[in-house]
Amino acid sequence: MKILAVGDPHGEINKIKNISLREIDLVLITGDIGKADFARKRFFEDIKRQKEGLPKLELTKPDVKRIYSEIYDSTMGILKYISKTVPTYSILGNVGADMIKGSEVKKDETKFKVKLPYLREGVSNLNNFYLVKNAVRNISGLRIGFLEYFIDTSWVKEFKPSDYNKKLKKAKKETVKARRILNNFKSLDILVCHQPPYGYLDKVSPKYNPPKDWIGKHAGSKVILDYIKKYQPKYVFCGHIHEGEGKAKIGKTEVYNLGVAGHKIINL
């Protein structure tokens, strides 16, 4: 089976179109399919303001419409292009995750009195696309595990966000859940996850203008690292820390951080 693994597309349709789909049997995506440039800019602005003792910028109705539309339109453009040719499987990254939850969309519609696109409805209408949530799929005899984005306690302790206690409480729950899911996966041929394993292909650089005190820190997951060391899947495909794009070996496991719309073709 010829498998194409694609790193976080982030709406980069031209990069995706430059990847040949000829003779590809299966596409795997590491999450963050859509573009979220405006949301990302606001996120980092708010971090900076909080460090300066200032309140977060207030979102307006046009802001919310712009955030939702940018993510929705770019996500659907990528998926329509790929899945019309090849069966495509993806996980959720941190971009657009709330848009999959109908309750979150309705909450914003009510708060801002605006009609917003429902990403879940859009992707559910695609015949050849599968959004997998924390599960193993047996595809042509291969065991492929899909672990969606979660907040690892290792990230909270390393980056110390302003809402540290609140974030740590949430991360503890998500970390316990992720560890349980991975242990239930047991042995895999391929693990598709969003974050890299801690200490591998996960160091933050100045490239994408993060907060200065983030630079040089490891943003990967210790839970994912522990799983790889214990179960040694053949391949791990991830993204999230785009400047960490590259390949690493952990025991017998080949780990690929595919960056933004990077790709790797394997035959299994």
**Where in the chain are the domains?**
2-267
**For residue 30, what are its two tokens?**
């590491």
Distance (Å, rounded) from C-alpha 60 to C-alpha 48? 19
* Inter-axis angle of helices 61-83 and 102-112, nearest 10: 150
The helix or strand, by DSSP H or E, that contains position 148, with its residue range, turns out to be: none
Contact 231, 186 (CB under 8 A): yes
The pLDDT value given to residue 10: 97
93-137 residue pLDDT tens: 998 777 777 788 999 999 999 999 999 899 999 999 999 999 999
Residue recorded with tokens 């900076």:
48
Helices then strands, each counted (H, E), the chain? 9, 11
DSSP state of 16: H
Which amino acid would we find at residue 140?
S
Q: Can you identify the CATH homologous superfamily of domain 2-267?
A: Metallo-dependent phosphatases (3.60.21.10)
The pLDDT value given to residue 104: 84
The pLDDT value given to residue 101: 73
Which stretches in the chain have pLDDT values below 70? Answer: none
The pLDDT value given to residue 191: 99
